[in-house]
Structure 1
Amino acid sequence: MAPLTPTWAQPSHGSIQEVVINDAAFTSKSLSKVTVAPYGLFAKIDFPPATPASEPTYATVQQGRDTHLNLNSDLVYINHSCDPSL
Structure 2
Amino acid sequence: MADTTEASQSLSREEAADELEALANELRGSEDITVAVGNKSVALTPRDTVDYDIEVSEREPMLGDKRESVSIDLHWKAEE
Higher strand fraction (1 or 2) = 2
TM-score over 0.5 for the alignment?
no
Query: TM-score band (shorter)?
Result: under 0.3
TM (normalized to structure 2)?
0.24
Q: Which of the pair has the greater relative contact order for Cα pairs under 8 Å at 6+ separation?
A: 1
TM (normalized to structure 1)?
0.23
**Which has more radius of gyration?**
2
Higher helix fraction (1 or 2) = 2
